[in-house]
Amino acid sequence: MRNSEFTIKKNQRIAAGMNEMILQVPETPEDEEMLRNIRPGQFINIRIEGLYLRRPISICDWDAGAGTITIVYKTVGRGTEAMGLMETGETLDILWPLGNGYALPQAGQEAERRTRRPLLIGGGAGVPPMVSLCRRMIEAGLQPTVILGFRSEEDAYYQDRFEAMGARTLITAEDGSIGQQGFVTDAMRTLIDSDGACAYDSVYACGPEPMLRAICETAPETIPGWFSFEERMGCGFGACMGCSCETKYGSKRICKDGPVLERSEIIW
Amino acid sequence: MVNGRDVDMRTSLCGIELDKPVMAASGTFGYGLEFAELYDINVLGTFSFKGTTPEPRFGNPTPRIADCTEGMLNSVGLQNPGVDKVLEEELPELAKVFHKPVMANVCGGSPEDYALVAEKLSQCDQIGWLEVNISCPNVRSGGMAFGTDPKAAAEVIGAVRKVTTKPVIAKLSPNVTDITEIAKACEAAGADGITAINTLLGMRIDLKSRKPVLAREMGGFSGPAVFPVALRAVYQITRAVDLPVVGCGGVRTAEDVLEMMMAGAKAVQVGSQNLVDPFACRDIIEALPAAMEKYGIKNLREDI
């Protein structure tokens, strides 16, 4: 973990209530090292003038060559509203990278052979971490399928980003205004054919907890899964025990031992 | 005298020397290990580790954190692995990275609980002081219930006093009419020092849901906003009892440390600030010599 000052390169609206911010990482060897070692699913914790606690936002993607990190945030309260008003050139005090992130299957391992066809599911503000996860999986030679769930067409974003990476991308909208009408679990059901053969062998998800739970209940019991959880945090780096949750392997801190939990340890 | 290099930051607490007057407050520094990954925590005077109970505790349901103007609420509820695991796992790990006496924060649901934890922790050589937490607002039994009644406070301090030869420091709650009454009761029961203050009971309501932000509804308020309250308590207590006082509450800068010491504190704890700035303690200590010099303080023991 480092405390760095990032510079805003871009801050723009990409869907109803959703902003994308591109941040320039300082050009120091330490920061560049950090940038190379980010894992999909990790987050940054942003200090915002006038607010006491930092605001945790998940990392969408990064570009080690350009020295940038992209975050996508939903304007839901004072912190994200203030972020929405920030302009190019302004700087942010950031603790990063935080959390465990998604474990990518290591090449050559048994787990890697069993999880060649991962299913990535992002719901609403849970879409961003799927971007870098999908990119890294494609770079590793895996064939991810992506499901993006939104309420309505005006909330939808990034479909093209996943398609451009070459991932099969399914969209659902609760009101049917775009893609398949319904929830991400409705799209999941289309990935199992009439013989019961499943088009995916592992599942990675981020989004609201009821969605995560529904995904867990819909995915075949035998496949592994990794789910990213949200909780109100104090510090973001494991010191305050504010965001603890109980798992089958004991209590875990969402900020440090998570936010990604393994399917088999989750107590719903 | 340039760059504050010639100042003397040493102080002492209950007969144990501290090379710096600054320590991290309980509940904001875990058992030190998260911070030891970030910087050499030996720069601290010491720290008070996470409140420890006889059995492991998960604490209260989440959400148990809420942001406030210049502060925060927490209703963690003393989550900790239990005294046995602390002795077997946390403290041996700590000993590898921290080479000074550490302050143990002792909690329980009854005087017997406190005594049990205190007795077990007293066996650990690295523990310098036992800070008895009779002021946590986030537990149903024990905690603040003891620290808001002079008789109950004395009972807990007395029970701990009997089982240890280490200095016993009572950590007091500000949620009382007269904090000096509690301090006097602790002094009479054998306390060697006082930490003031723990968090103030507070609450927030979410405008959209119209419900309390915290699952437990109320929690402990801390952060820079409480600094004047803490300072006032330190000032009152140092004039009411003949015990060293550790000032705690809302400390954010080296100037806050000096102000706390001018109110009478022998040492100063930094709490919530560690959570928003993990380097807060280190940076405050680095800034202290220059601040001392600015206000004409060469020696913390004599010039305040």
What are the DSSP calls for A172-241, one per residue?
Answer: EETTSSSSEES-HHHHHHTTB-TT--BS-SEEEEES-HHHHHHHHHHS-TTS-EEEE-----SSSSSSS-
> A2-98: CATH homologous superfamily?
Translation factors (2.40.30.10)
Residues with pLDDT less than 70, chain A: 106-114
Pairing of strands B22-24, B16-18: unpaired
What is the per-residue pLDDT for B3?
52
Structural domain contains residue B234: yes
Domain at A110-228: CATH code: 3.40.50.80
**What pLDDT was estimated at residue A115?**
72
pLDDT at residue number B1: 43
> Would you say residue B260 lies in a domain?
yes
Q: What is the pLDDT of residue B4?
A: 54
Residue B5 confidence (pLDDT):
66
Question: In this structure, how many other beta carbons lie within 10 angstroms of the beta carbon of residue A62?
Answer: 25
Reduce the DSSP state of residue B1 to 3 states and report it.
coil
- Within-domain flag for B301: no
Active site (annotated) includes residue B136: yes
Cα-based distances in Å from A135 to A67, A70, A116, B224? 17, 14, 14, 43
pLDDT of residue A103: 87
| Residue-level pLDDT at B59 | 95
Token duo for residue B239: 């004039």
With a cut of 70, which residues of chain B have pLDDT below it?
1-5
Q: How far is B300 from chain A (nearest CA, A)?
A: 30
Where in the sequence is the domain holding B249, given as residue range(s)? 11-294
**What ipTM goes with this model?**
0.93
pLDDT tens digits along B122-143: 999 999 999 999 998 878 777 7
pLDDT tens readout for residues B250-272:
999 999 999 999 999 999 999 99
Task: Measure B278 CA to nearest chain A CA, in Å.
Answer: 8
Q: Do A52 and B62 touch (CB under 8 A)?
A: no
pLDDT digits (tens, 9 = 90+) for B170-182: 999 999 999 999 9
Distance (Å, whole) CA B224 – CA B72 = 9
Cβ separation of A241 and B70 shorter than 8 Å?
Answer: no
A interface with B, Cβ–Cβ below 8 Å: 1, 3, 47, 51-54, 79, 95, 231-235, 237-246, 251, 256
Among candidates A234, A245, A246 on the partner chain, residue whose Cβ is nearest the Cβ of B275: A234
SS3 content of chain B, % helix, strand, coil (to 5): 35, 20, 45
Number of structural domains, chain B? 1
The greatest distance separating any two alpha carbons of chain B, rounded to the nearest whole angstrom, comes to 58
Catalytic entry in B68, B107, B124, B136: B136
Q: Is residue B283 part of a domain?
A: yes
- How far is A122 from chain B, CA to nearest CA, in Å? 23
Which residues of chain B are at the A interface, by a Cβ-Cβ cutoff of 8 Å? Answer: 27-30, 34-35, 37-38, 50, 58-59, 62-72, 74, 76, 79, 213, 223-224, 272, 274-279
Answer yes or no: is B299 within a domain.
no
User: Is B255 contained in some domain?
Assistant: yes
The domain ranges of chain A are 2-98, 110-228
Report the CATH number that the domain containing residue B275 is assigned in CATH: 3.20.20.70
pLDDT value of position B2: 46
Contacts of A76 in chain B (CB under 8 A): none
A232 and B62 within 8 Å at the Cβ level: the answer is: yes
Residue B93 forms part of a structural domain: yes
User: Which residues in chain A have their CB less than 8 angstroms from residue B67's CB?
Assistant: 51-53, 79
What is the model's pLDDT at position B220?
A: 96
Q: Is residue B3, in this structure, part of any structural domain at all?
A: no
pLDDT of residue B6: 83
